[in-house]
Structure 1
């Protein structure tokens, strides 16, 4: 019996790579997320490289949606909306496992 394996062009991505793509899509408008946009972000928004220097950085990333100004425009399934105020930034939904992926990416910046 002869078994043949076929190579595919599908590349597996790491959790950190997936987290980078999420951070690029969802976070980079306000935050510098690394070399990707090192001259971007909003002046008063902390950069990912700066935030990961904090001792409690993982907890801060995992709970970012509870920290101002995020509750106004970030939606996490299963968590109530904090305000009925219209967001100044287009709202988006993020799932808990996606938050973990972004946290995994942030850890690569340490």
Structure 2
């Protein structure tokens, strides 16, 4: 009469085992997104649109902006926390509330890294740098390093970028003369920021897709040429290659917009 009870127990045990097995995967998924609480005054400057896509492009971690005083893994405010950047009126502080959240911790570390600081200080409003680093307004020096495979990055650069840019001595005669070479781009002080965010700089958005980062092309606006389709790992490899490219000797300091 109660033969179904052992079967029910076995089914329940199986569900527990399955759920337990899924927990690490769910935890990993949670580590790929977190909430960032930011005041409206900071959002209105446009800094978040400049900053967050570049971090997500680099790491694959997505950030959800939430209003001030909302529960979040990280808070940017003028109150308590670690000072990370300043404008003419305010020093902005970061508080990491979720110390065990890998994605949030990575963002906090990135903001304090050389690449993160370059990204912050390269943000401009009306052509003028808007933010400086607390107690350190001078330009950041030192070589930027990337973890990708530079050999693979060279091959990817030739395949995807070489249609327009001179990316090495081998394709010098096959590129479009009006586009800057990798050697010239490498000579710019913010070359690393430019390459990390190239997908957002014209004309690239019209034909570039980065997996899990960019939105699909609108149906009514197909790419005008064969699209460039790469992954974050591909981009990391390209960045590693470009970091090894010798900057062009342009004589006087390069002035650019």
Same-fold status (TM-score > 0.5): yes
Mark the structure with the bigger radius of gyration. 2
Give the 5 Å matches for 1:45-60: 45-60=179-194
Decide whether the 8 Å contact of 2:162 with 2:171 is kept in 1: yes
Aligned to 1:80: 215
Q: Which 4+ runs in 1 deviate beyond 6 A?
A: none
Identify unmatched segments of 5+ residues in structure 2. Answer: 1-147, 247-257
Decide whether the 8 Å contact of 1:71 with 1:81 is kept in 2: no
Greater strand share, structure number: 2
Normalised by the size of structure 2, how large is the TM-score? 0.36
Superposed CA RMSD in Å reads: 1.6
In the alignment, is residue 103 of structure 1 matched against residue 239 of structure 2?
yes
* Deviates most, 28-37 or 77-86: 77-86
In the alignment, is residue 91 of structure 1 matched against residue 207 of structure 2?
no
Distance in 2, matches of 1:49 and 1:80, equals 30
Distance in 2, matches of 1:66 and 1:49, equals 21
Distance in 2, matches of 1:92 and 1:109, equals 21
Identify unmatched segments of 5+ residues in structure 1. Answer: 1-13
Give the 5 Å matches for 1:63-78: 63-78=197-212
Aligned to 1:34: 168
